[in-house]
Amino acid sequence: MLCGLVLTTACSDDNDSNPTFQKPTQFVLNTPAMANSTIDLANSEKIVLYCSQPDYGFPARTVYSVQVASKEDKSDAVDLKGTFSEAVAEISASTLASTLTNMMIEQGKTEDDFPMNIPVYLRMKAYAANSIGTMVEGSEIYSNWVTLRDVRLLYSLAPVTTPEALCVAGNFNGGSWDTALDMVQVYDAANVFWHLVYIDDKGIQFNQEHTAGDFVVGYDQITVGGDLAEEIVDADGKIASNNPGWYLVVVTTSVTGRKINYEVQFLRPEVYMMGPITPLGAWSELEDGTMFEVPSEADADFVSPPFAASVPGGDGDGVRAYVKIPGFDWWKSEFMIYGAADSDGYQPLEYRGMGPDQNDAASFGERVKGNEGQRMYFNFTKEKGKIE
């Protein structure tokens, strides 16, 4: 009843019961009781912070967050992940430990320098939020800093490893990460990825996931190589071409310390037939007369020469196609069409990648049938193809 009376009175004092916003002038973070004790993050679950509520002139929905710094001048302050809806913040000790470890690494420390005991500085941020959670303009306020004088910090970062997946987006798909092309791993080489990509003067970027975030890779993050390296230029941080067209893009990833290296080869967009459908039928790589015609547009088809012979498919020989990745056998980067056709007769394009041979019925299907005189049509932007 008392709370109800206070809130009613507060609103009644404003014009016609409409609360008036006021910018708060004070926001106090209480010094934690353990501030002068040794805090071992490895053996702690959480650190709890208590603060006052900013006075906005009425009971406002308030969002709180925490900043942390490791330097006395607070010049390296960063926001910890997460927000809180009450004037109590429960910070995960593991989150704080990984954040502080990153800070120490950025200051030149190595894993051998851990464990270490350091002072840690914390403050809170608050703002009033409207009904959809957006910050009310002018409502943001920061608290005072508090010091945890002796924080025991172990090295708290997981090992950096090469990406398990890469995708690529560019002008060819409107720059959308949602529809980015998944790059293909070379068989038995999980750190090597490839794809046929149309690159123009607007450029492309790589990513480990289908969303904008911390893993986007642009021109400054790669080492450029390959036969067509001289055509690759920087376009506002993206990887562009001064001779727009198709490229066979091969990305080899490695790790140095905590940095992922991206060595990218830009090669001629050569696609080949293989097997009995070729003029020689000799199972030889890069055979004359087996290379596909390269289109001039991003959404057009690569077209094979006519098949020199028929193949039965199924358990017998089938139609085979591949790109040649330097240093690897042809079959480690082969692909074919499988599955139901759309209204235009195109089927999904499937890559061998790290998977089994493409006559594995459980993973792909049986070998694909082809008749003498037919051709393959592959669209690497739309990831589909047909034989006719």
pLDDT tens, position by position, 36-87: 999 999 999 999 999 999 999 888 899 999 999 999 999 999 999 899 999 9
Q: What is the pLDDT of residues 205-228, one digit of tens each?
A: 999 999 998 899 999 999 999 999
| CA pair distance 305, 214, nearest whole angstrom | 43
Q: What is the largest CA-CA distance in the chain?
A: 94
| CA pair distance 281, 77, nearest whole angstrom | 65
Which pLDDT belongs to residue 57?
A: 87
More confident residue, 133 or 220: 220
Count the Cβ atoms, other than its own, within 10 Å of residue 312. 12
Q: Does the pLDDT of residue 288 top 80, yes or no?
A: yes
Which pLDDT belongs to residue 18?
A: 65
Which pLDDT belongs to residue 96?
A: 96
Domains 167-267 and 271-388 share a fold: yes
Q: Is 3 helix (H, G, I), strand (E, B) or coil?
A: helix
Which pLDDT belongs to residue 3?
A: 33
Cα distances from 278 to residues 304, 352, 373, in angstroms, run 10, 20, 11
Q: Does the pLDDT of residue 16 top 80, yes or no?
A: no
Q: Does the pLDDT of residue 172 top 80, yes or no?
A: yes
Left if phi > 0, otherwise alpha if psi is -120 to 50, otherwise beta: which for 178? alpha
Q: Does the pLDDT of residue 4 top 60, yes or no?
A: no
Which pLDDT belongs to residue 14?
A: 43
% of the chain beyond a pLDDT of 90: 83
Domain boundaries, the chain: 22-153, 167-267, 271-388
Which pLDDT belongs to residue 13?
A: 45
Q: Does the pLDDT of residue 271 top 80, yes or no?
A: yes
Domain 271-388 CATH class label: mainly beta
| CA pair distance 306, 387, nearest whole angstrom | 10
Average pLDDT over residues 4-10: 30
Three-state SS string over 268-305 comes to CCCEEEECCCCCCCCCCCCCCCCECECCCCCCCCEECC
Average pLDDT over residues 105-119: 94
Which pLDDT belongs to residue 124?
A: 97
| CA pair distance 201, 238, nearest whole angstrom | 9
Which pLDDT belongs to residue 9?
A: 30
Residue 8's pLDDT band (cuts 50, 70, 90): very low
Count the Cβ atoms, other than its own, within 10 Å of residue 385. 24
* The two three-digit tokens of residue 42, written as one number: 């490895």
Is the pTM above the cut of 0.75? Answer: no
CATH architecture of the domain 22-153 equals Sandwich (2.60)
Average pLDDT over residues 351-362: 86
Which pLDDT belongs to residue 358?
A: 86
Q: Does the pLDDT of residue 349 top 70, yes or no?
A: yes
Can you spell out the DSSP letters for 122-176?
Answer: EEEEEEEB-TTSPBPTT--EE---EEEEEEEE----PPP---S--EEEEGGGTT-
% of the chain beyond a pLDDT of 70: 95
Which pLDDT belongs to residue 194?
A: 98
Write out the E strands in 304-380. 320-323, 334-337, 347-351, 376-379
Asked which of 231-235, 257-261, 275-279 is least confident by mean pLDDT, the reply is: 257-261
Asked which of 129-138, 146-155, 266-275 is least confident by mean pLDDT, the reply is: 129-138
| CA pair distance 364, 342, nearest whole angstrom | 18
Which pLDDT belongs to residue 203?
A: 97
Q: Does the pLDDT of residue 360 top 90, yes or no?
A: no
Q: Does the pLDDT of residue 363 top 90, yes or no?
A: no
What average pLDDT does the structure give for the chain?
Answer: 92
Query: Does domain 167-267 match CATH 3.30.300.130?
Result: no
Q: What is the pLDDT of residues 20-47, one digit of tens each?
A: 888 999 999 999 999 999 999 999 999 9
